[in-house]
Amino acid sequence: MKLVFATNNKNKIKEVQSLMPEGIHLLSLEEIGCHEDIPETSPTIEGNAIQKAEYVKEKYGYDCFADDTGLEVAALNGAPGVYSARYAGEEKSSDANIGKLLNELEGKEDRSARFKTVIALHLKGKFHTFEGICAGNIIFERKGLQGFGYDPVFQPEGKSETFAEMNLSEKSKISHRGRAIRKLIDFLDHLNS
């Protein structure tokens, strides 16, 4: 089965393809000739995922899934949330986003946070959504060189390393995206059985 994963983020594609069972081949937006920025104008993470999947299905005709992820920090009333990628500006700089986050948390005792991923699957004319959550804390300085986004400052509950200090398979076992993807895979397996 060919499915479009509505992203051009090569890190995400690599992470997700590593979790997919045999027989499911992911296509990136680039591979289907989609080079435009897909609108993400919903005020919710779920809404953005649905919007992206719908856009690909309508414009390109492919069954598709899209994800949207937000980092929700308790002391910041859930911010950056749906604006996580653009927290420090439209250029989507991970380094600037982390810098802003650490500044906003200066002097705050509660550093609890959670990553939330919602995957929207547009398959055979129907929508299905899958959610994954990973709770943890924002540490005081960047650690690790793996991963992307806020990974260098996010330490999952029960772990002594940040996501950026874990290899891909370690991270995928416990991450928000890994959890949502496993729900998607279970659903696809059930369809094929």
For residue 143, what is the domain's CATH number? 3.90.950.10
Instruction: Please name the residues in contact with 13: beta carbons below 8 A apart, sequence gap of 6 or more.
Output: 5, 7, 26, 28
Q: Tell whether the model's pLDDT for residue 137 goes beyond 90.
A: yes
Pairing of strands 112-123, 154-156: unpaired
The mean predicted confidence, pLDDT, of the chain is: 92
Rounded to 5 degrees, φ, ψ at 85 are -70, -30
Among candidate residues 155, 151, 107, the one with its CA nearest the CA of residue 135: 155
92 is known to lie in a ligand binding site: no
Predicted local distance difference test score (pLDDT) of residue 15? 74
Domain count across the chain: 1
41 is known to lie in a ligand binding site: no
What is the share, in percent, of the chain residues with pLDDT greater than 90? 74
What is the share, in percent, of the chain residues with pLDDT greater than 70? 99
The pTM of this model reads 0.89
Among candidate residues 121, 129, 117, the one with its CA nearest the CA of residue 85: 117
Catalytic entry in 63, 67, 68, 186: 68
Domain of 18? 2-192
Predicted local distance difference test score (pLDDT) of residue 193? 64
173 is known to lie in a ligand binding site: no
12 is known to lie in a ligand binding site: yes
Is residue 50 a contact partner of residue 127, using CB atoms and an 8 Å limit?
A: yes
Predicted local distance difference test score (pLDDT) of residue 46? 96
176 is known to lie in a ligand binding site: yes
d(CA 159, CA 145): 17
Predicted local distance difference test score (pLDDT) of residue 192? 66
> Could you confirm whether 68 is annotated as catalytic?
yes
Provide mean pLDDT across the span 119-133. 95
167 is known to lie in a ligand binding site: no
